[in-house]
Structures are given as structure tokens and as C-alpha cells.
Amino acid sequence: MKQQNYAVLTGDIVQSGKLEKGKLAEIQAFLKSAHSQLQELSENAVVGSLGITRGDGWQLALSRPDRALRSALFLRASLKAEFSVDTRVCIGVGRVERLVVSNIVESTGTAFELSGRGLDCLPEELYMELQTDPLDKGLQRMVRLMDCVVQGWSSTDSRAVAGYLLGKTQEEIAAEGPLNPKTGKPVSRQSISKALFRAHWDTVTECVTYVENTICKL
């Protein structure tokens, strides 16, 4: 019987040393509070809860590796939308030897090793990486290209993407977002549509689907 693969996401906040006092703690609290949304995105595959490591670091484990990329995109989009900060993240896909649900950062196995080492070795210009066992260089290159797109998302683009990932309509995203500073009213549905266009959302969605379908075959 084939042993189950897991996905581990290991990340750290970009330029955390430049954040205002107390801001990192707010970001960490925000990451921890995203548990229910991550469960929705991963179809209840989150193992335990998101763990905080190394001060500005975090780690998340999923029992469904195919849902890892959209979870990473959601966390990046949410942080860019709420705090105008980004996070580096490496997704490791492989076996797990020891799974500590109560404190996920104490777990061990190939997925954890690939994710942790991958983040440590991530080139300076990249914020997102995929490491699989065995390594699929095609998937890795696709994730790196997607990273180039995500790095260009504005806070407005990111808010639209995060909402769309959760299955919200453009009207719902507009109603829940910050008010238009000029009119004092919610932004229009058209503005959300334009934000998704700027974010290249249709192309990103196609890439995510391809990566997910391929990971299922590993």
C-alpha cells in the first residue's frame, strides 16, 4: 500500500526587521487566526494548527498536498491585503515520519525537511518554492513563475484574490473591503473585476489547477 504524502509549508515574513514595533506580533496572530479559512481551502486537511517558528517564521502541514499551493497563495494574498507585507514560503511534498499535531513544528519527515531546507536555500529574488520527492522540475518552474506574478500584486489586487480563493463573489468582496476614500462608500464590483484582471487571476487559476492535478499523481 502506497504511503500517504503530506504537504508542509514553511515560511517567514519578508523584511520583518523593518516592521514597526508590535506589528510582527499582529501578523503572527493574524496567521494563527486564519485556521478556519485554511481548513475551507484545504477541504479540512490542515493538521493541527499553524505553528510559529524562529520569531518571524511559520509552518503549516496539510494531509492533502494538492491543496498546498492555493493555501500558500491565500496566506500571501491575505498578508499583502491586510498588512502590505509578503511572506516567503516553500512547499515540501513527501512522507512524514513523526507528526506532532499539538505542535506541528516538532514533526519530522521528508516533507518537513524539503520545506525547511527549501526555504533556507531560496534564492533572494524568489518568495515561493515547491520541493517534491522525487523533484518535479516542471512543477517547480511553474511555481517560481507564479511567484513572479504574486510579487506584483497590490494590496487591492491581493484582497480580491483572497476573497475569490474563498469562493466569494465580486459583490461580496467589494462589500467587505475598505471604503473608497474618495466617496466613503464600498468599492464597486467593477473595481474588484479590474483587480482580478491585474492579478492575472484566470491564468493563475489554470496554473494552480495544473499543479494540483499533477501533485495528486506523485
pLDDT by residue, tens only, the chain of 218 residues: 678 999 999 999 999 999 998 999 999 999 999 999 999 999 999 999 999 987 899 999 999 999 999 999 999 999 999 999 999 999 999 999 999 999 999 999 999 999 999 999 999 999 999 999 999 999 999 999 999 999 999 999 999 999 999 999 999 999 998 877 778 788 899 999 999 999 999 999 999 999 999 999 98
Exposed, middle or buried: residue 173 (CB in 10 Å: 0-12, 13-18, 19+)? buried
The domains located in the chain, with CATH, are 6-215 (3.30.70.1230)
Give me the pLDDT at residue 54, please: 74
Sequence-separated (6 or more) residues with CB below 8 Å from residue 15: 85
Torsion, Cα of 131, 133, 135, 136 (10° steps) = -90
Chain-centre distance for alpha carbon 61: 12
For 97, the 3-state DSSP assignment is coil
Show the cell assigned to 78.
491575505
- pTM equals 0.96
Give me the pLDDT at residue 1, please: 60
**Alpha carbon distance 187, 45 (integer Å):** 34
Other beta carbons within 10 angstroms of residue 41's beta carbon come to 23
Give me the pLDDT at residue 181, please: 75
Give me the pLDDT at residue 185, please: 83
For 151, the 3-state DSSP assignment is coil
